[in-house]
Chains A and B, each alone.
Chain A
Amino acid sequence: MTQDQVKVELKESDVQKIKTICAEFDNNGGELINVLHKTQNTFGYLPAEVQEVVAQGLNVSVAKVYGVVTFYSYFTMIPKGEHPISLCTGTACYVRGADKVLDELKKVLEIEVGETTADGKFSINCLRCVGACGLAPVVMVGDKTYGRVAPEMIKGILEEYQ
């Protein structure tokens, strides 16, 4: 799934939800990033249609909202998988082989970083240091952390979620 393929039709109730979030922040354009955080927490991601409502709510241009969304790696326009996989690519994990784990993940799931599998089950995301360097390399699936992960373990880990 890529950004262009995501199309959503917002329900009136969704529009209201976004407007309420904007109102919580006094419809103040300076609170754009806080609003985006809260909106992404609500919807899981920030498709174009959602950004448009945010822009209206805060009285800023849609271009600006999009410019901010694409600047920060935390914001995503693609829905995350049912089981989002986060791989730590901090230095400690890297020198202990995180890149090989990532290659294996990409190979097995047939997606790139930042993408979601066609069935919506998994998505891959890279993090910079989760602070578990003692367990490097570290992979998180949802909230569960797997430490000292080797490429051979990937299939087994994914099977837990099939």
Chain B
Amino acid sequence: MTKIKLTIDKKEVKVEQGSTLLEAAKKVGIDIPTLCYMHLDDINVNHKPGGCRVCSVEVEGRRNLAPACATEVADGMVIRTNSVRVLNARRTVLSLILSDHPKDCLSCAKSGNCDLQNMAIRFGIRETPYEGCEISRYKEDFSPSIIRDMDKCIVCRRCETMCNDFQTVGALSAINRGFNSVVAPAFQMDLEHSTCTYCGQCVAVCPTGALTEVDHTNKLIRDLANPNKTVIVQTAPAVRAALGECFDLKPGTLVTGKMTAALRELGFNYVFDTDFAADLTIMEEGTEILNRLSKHLAGDKSVKLPILTSCCPGWVNFFEQQFTDLLDVPSTAKSPQQMFGAIAKTYFADKINVKREDLVVVSIMPCLAKKYECQREEFKVDGNPDVDYSISTRELAALIKRANIDFMSLSDEEFDAPMGESTGAGVIFGTTGGVIEAAVRTAYELHTNKKLPKVDFHELRGMQGIRQATIDFDGFPVNIGIAHGLGHARELLEKIQKGESEFHAIEIMACPGGCIGGGGQPLHHADLSILAKRMEAIYKEDGNKVLRKSHENPSIIKLYEEFLGKPMSEKAHHLLHTNYINRSKKVIYIQ
């Protein structure tokens, strides 16, 4: 690679050809501010529309200022990032952006975590000189998962890039033009009526309070305070690998024990683990995979292959809307969250002798689509949902802080029995490749009646958007595909539609890196390198477990013995499986 030499603020820099001024400046420790720029190298998202102009710098010999995020270096360039001209321009542009932004930071969900607020502080903006100017106003849009408050949109269009380029969901687009431009669903309909999958990737990248999650923490506090309610909680595997970041711990720090302690401190009657339900999912889904495979091997042409995993609610929303011809392809197994709820409100409620309506099941999820999933009609019994509501990792962190719990000084505690016991297979559900690895561990042993020579399937791991591997099931090669990100999922699905897929089983997760990169996780502020660290933490937890295969989980074995019978039994079918509905969207007007 050719090296380019340039000067930035009197410092000489040598960088590779094709680098941007921003990257070059970073090399010599100069932090040029950015707002709209988003470079997610790990998932190949490079969003630099040059829209906010906050990164403007002076290039000697150039008539106007240059956006550092998108201007390539050239030999001999002389750059000033801190001249009066630059500082005045940045300040002026920022005050323009703020002039079209509500001033209700005090009550904004994003306050303290807002890139725009931080920028305003950095540039010392105390007032905007445009008295009585017009401010964009839009109707607030409440969906079951996401709240859109477009008054706060600064048109950085990161959400649009995630929704279209990465996820290919196409729910959002920039609309109108000029001062009236904003990002919105078609016809400015509510998100609920659009093709939104609630994957929450838009929320994860929004620099302001324009896109936030529906907050259930106050509802939770009310329930915890209600003496007539038994409140139990389940925590998803990816939460423990990221929650620590909210307490200034290094990304990738596992906080399972502290989290359990904190939840108990908050007043939950039972602190359980979604990993338990993940093991249960493997029992059902693994069996289903084996059933379909055996039928296929026996020459049954009617059997649908590949089988697709179904734990990810964003993914389920995606195919129910956009791949309605493939509704009979995914596994019918419910997601771990819903399996947990179904068992909790039957098996466990009976055990502790609490009426269904007095038992509140709360889930802590790295995910926003889970908020919608637990409200689905098919997951309710007489109007009472199996999982009452779901809160995100971020909401949990806020709740812990609100309750004055000194997270760092908590001693590690264990989950409660019986729904707190899990294997390593349950833990790895939190990362891309994990569900299918867990399934392979169990399916292999059930199919071959042999013990696995090795538990770790490194060929199934990694961050690449689409991966494939062939696992030898004792002479029968099983072709496995993995995709994370719905755009990658679309590629695999279109192959299935065309009959070109050679896979027997495919795992799909909607978010980058799987649940560890979910829309409800601590904000990555456009730095996705933390995903690799969260992933490491997940595999570390798996490695630390004595039991690493779902079918070895004693509580699961007991559950089948006492309650369900065997996998895919009638009872299991009734409680743990679902069916998919064509939810393709038609234009619906906002009334």
Which residue on B lies nearest to A50, using beta carbons?
Answer: B587
Query: Which residues, 39 to 76 on A, are CB-close (under 8 Å) to B?
Result: 48-49, 51-52, 60-67, 70-71
| B186 near A51: Cβ-Cβ < 8 Å | yes
Bound: A157/B529 CA distance, A? 68
Question: What is the interface size of chain B, counting residues whose CB is below 8 A from a CB of the partner?
Answer: 21
Which residues of B are found within 8 Å of A67, using beta-carbon distances?
A: 173-175
Q: Are A63 and B185 in contact (CB-based, < 8 A)?
A: yes
Q: List chain B residues, Cβ under 8 A from A4.
A: 589-590
Q: Are B171 and A61 in contact (CB under 8 A)?
A: yes
Question: Chain B's nearest CB lies how many Å from the CB of A30?
Answer: 15
Given contacts A70-B175, A70-B177, A71-B177, A64 and B587 within 8 Å (CB-CB): no
Distance from A59 Cβ to chain B, minimum over Cβ atoms (Å): 10
B34 at the interface (CB under 8 A from A): no
Give B517-541 interface residues, CB cut-off 8 Å to A: none
Q: Give Cα distance in the complex from A73 to B177, angstroms.
A: 9
Which residues of chain B from 265 to 290 have any CB-CB distance to chain A below 8 Å in the complex?
none
- Selected contact of A61 from candidates B164, B174, B175, B177, CB within 8 Å: B164
Instruction: Please state if A48 and B589 are interface contacts (CB–CB under 8 Å).
Output: yes
Neighbour of A49 across the interface among B172, B175, B194, B587, CB < 8 A: B587
A62 to B184, CA, bound (A): 11
B586's nearest neighbour on chain A, judged by CB, is A52
Contact partner of B187 (CB less than 8 A), chosen from A60, A64, A66, A71, is A66
CB–CB A63/B171 < 8 A: yes
Number of A interface residues at 8 Å Cβ cutoff, please give it.
16
Q: How far is the CA of A2 from the CA of B546 in the complex (A)?
A: 66
Within 8 A of A (CB), among B159-208: 164, 169-177, 184-187, 194-195
Residues of chain A from 63 to 118 with CB closer than 8 A to chain B in the complex: 63-67, 70-71
Query: Which residue, of B169, B177, B590, has the highest number of chain A Cβ atoms within 10 A?
Result: B177
A7 at the binding interface (Cβ < 8 Å): yes
Identify which of B172, B184, B185, B587 contacts A52 (C-beta below 8 A): B587
List chain A residues, Cβ under 8 A from B590. Answer: 4
Taking A63-B172, A63-B194 as given, write out 13 further A-B residue pairs in contact, using a Cβ cutoff of 8 Å, ordered by the A residue number. Answer: A7-B589, A49-B587, A51-B587, A52-B186, A52-B586, A61-B195, A62-B170, A62-B195, A63-B184, A63-B195, A64-B164, A64-B173, A66-B187
Q: A residues bordering B, Cβ < 8 Å? A: 4, 7, 48-49, 51-52, 60-67, 70-71
A-B residue pairs in contact (CB < 8 Å), sample of 8: A4-B590, A7-B589, A48-B187, A52-B586, A62-B186, A63-B173, A63-B185, A71-B177
